[in-house]
Amino acid sequence: MTGRAGWAVAGVAAVGLLAGAVELVVDDSYRAAALALLAGLIAGAVGVLTVSLVPVADPRGLLLGAVFAVQGVLSWTYTNTGVVVWTWLLLSGLVLLCWCRPFEVVALRSGAAWLGVSYLVIGALGAVLVMKPEIALQRVLYAGYFGLVVLVVFAGKGDVARFTRGIAVAFLGTVAVLLLAGSGNLFTAPHVVPDTPWGRGFEYRFWGASWLLDHPNAMACIAVLAAIRIGADATPAAWQRVGSVATAVLVLCVSDSRTGFLLLLTATLVFIWYDHRRALVPAAALAVVLLVNGPSFLVKERYGDDAGVSSGRVETWRQVGADWRRDSLAEQLLGNTRDARATVYRASSGADIKLTVDNAPIAALRKAGVVGVVAFLTGLGLLLWNVWRRRRDAPPWLMVFVPGALVTMITNEWLIGGTGGTLWLLLLAGEATLLLSPRTAPATAR
């Protein structure tokens, strides 16, 4: 065993022992401590995997990926304390200001940039027209922040492949931290959940720890994104690629995330066309998830019979349509102004929960009205055109990632970004990889 491998094993063992000791003190149970020890060992192993990938990652990508992953964690840990997330956006925005130059005009041709920024600008204009300056200001700040992210991604110097790899490594590191934080309840039931309507009744899904939470779907998203970016990349070693996929398997099993499963399933089916032998690894991963969770988890009615298999999404979409018909003309054209994020109220869910739309095109209608839908379709079309016309230059991970992003936009808003918009960030960086790289000349006939 080499010295570096020895230190890695020692580090994993130390993390596992620490997790087990803490749980023994807190719960005074040797069984719980043993399970926490196992969880700590796994978290330590994921941490070692993350550290091993840092040399092939760009530091700016690492930081930007961490910024977005932490946004999501803070949003769910401090759901009712918006100042925490706004403070994080402010601090990270100051850092991004130092990296946004030189300004690349090619960013205006990015479909992902349109998807993540245009609806915020349109929604801000709508709020101005209906005399809601506070909401308009918040949306302008959001638009400015995510516009700054676009500039940073396109201003990045050096190897753009390393940049996207850095984003994925940061996501993997975030998963390691969440696994360690929640090691005391990773393999026990009930799991720790937030004391909000979002968490109550979902103790069978892993969220993390009471002081560090992330929504199971969001956690599954970053784990699967890391698996796609690293697993379909020829640069990392085989054990690193397999390790990233194995981490996604664990998170999908404990988070019970159907959307995350759908994302990995779509990417795997497309990956078969690139390398059917390497595709056996994610195919086996999907089989393990189905074996552990049972195929029935894909059609489980989580909110009761009234919500159905869609977990109430269909009812929320109907509510969006009903609200749109009642809105003023300005809101119909430029977006609902109930609050800055245009959340949805549905009587069956209770007055104390602000629902997200969980569908990208319908969310565009809710947030930015009819004009927002046009902007969404424009951005989506531009994204697909950029990927298609440069498909010769596109890395395999991007080509398998885009279909997964499109399929899962039906049950999630992550295609249009927002706070914790990890999928949008990687999609934006992937498109930038194509637009900033020299284009391969088409082969000439002989």
Query: Which residues 6+ apart lie within 8 Å of 429 measured at CB?
Result: 61, 153, 160, 163, 164, 167
262: amino acid identity, one letter: L
What tens digit of pLDDT does each residue of 179-222 get? 999 999 999 988 999 887 777 778 889 999 999 999 999 999 99
Find the mean pLDDT for residues 384-406.
94
pTM over 0.75: yes
Q: What would the two tokens of residue 61 be?
A: 């990508």
What tens digit of pLDDT does each residue of 31-90 get? 999 999 999 999 999 999 999 999 999 999 999 999 999 999 999 999 888 899 999 999
Q: What's residue 189's pLDDT?
A: 84
- Nearest-CA neighbor of 207 among 183, 226, 231? 183
- Nearest-CA neighbor of 367 among 407, 414, 397, 332? 332
Peptide bond into 102 cis (omega under 30): yes
pLDDT above 70: residue 152: yes
Distance, in Å, from the CA atom of 164 to the CA atom of 275, rounded to the nearest integer, reads: 21
pLDDT above 80: residue 303: no
**H or E segment and range at residue 208:** strand 208-209
pLDDT above 50: residue 264: yes
Q: What would the two tokens of residue 32 be?
A: 């719980």
pLDDT above 80: residue 157: no
pLDDT above 70 as % of the chain = 95
Tell me the average pLDDT of the chain.
91
Find the mean pLDDT for residues 108-118.
95
Q: Which of 44-48, 266-270, 273-277, 437-441 has the lowest mean pLDDT?
A: 437-441
pLDDT above 80: residue 321: yes
Query: DSSP string spanning 393-445?
Result: T--HHHHHHHHHHHHHTTT-SGGG--TT-HHHHHHHHHHHHHHHSPPPPPPPP
Find the mean pLDDT for residues 396-413.
94
pLDDT above 60: residue 441: no
331-348 residues labelled b (16+ CB within 10 A) or e (exposed)? bbbbbbbbebbbebebee
Contact 330, 122 (CB under 8 A): no
pLDDT above 50: residue 444: no
Q: What would the two tokens of residue 303 be?
A: 């909110």
Contact 57, 193 (CB under 8 A): no
Residues in the chain: 446
Q: What's residue 446's pLDDT?
A: 31
Distance, in Å, from the CA atom of 218 to the CA atom of 202, rounded to the nearest integer, reads: 15
Q: What's residue 308's pLDDT?
A: 67
Contact 109, 386 (CB under 8 A): yes
Distance, in Å, from the CA atom of 27 to the CA atom of 185, rounded to the nearest integer, reads: 11
- Nearest-CA neighbor of 248 among 199, 283, 299? 283
Q: What's residue 420's pLDDT?
A: 84
Contact 227, 265 (CB under 8 A): no
pLDDT above 70: residue 440: no
160-181 residues labelled b (16+ CB within 10 A) or e (exposed)? bbbbbbbbbbbbbbbbbbbbbb
Distance, in Å, from the CA atom of 266 to the CA atom of 283, rounded to the nearest integer, reads: 11
pLDDT above 90 as % of the chain = 74
What tens digit of pLDDT does each residue of 88-103 get? 999 999 999 998 888 8
Query: DSSP string spanning 223-289?
Result: HHHHHHHHHT-SSS-HHHHHHHHHHHHHHHHHHT-HHHHHHHHHHHHHHTTT-TTTTHHHHHHHHHH
Pick the more confident residue, 121 or 436: 121
What tens digit of pLDDT does each residue of 366-393 get? 999 999 999 999 999 999 999 999 999 8
Q: What's residue 443's pLDDT?
A: 44
Q: What would the two tokens of residue 352 be?
A: 């104390």
Q: What angle do the packed helices 111-129 and 360-389 form, to 10 degrees?
A: 150
Contact 263, 404 (CB under 8 A): yes
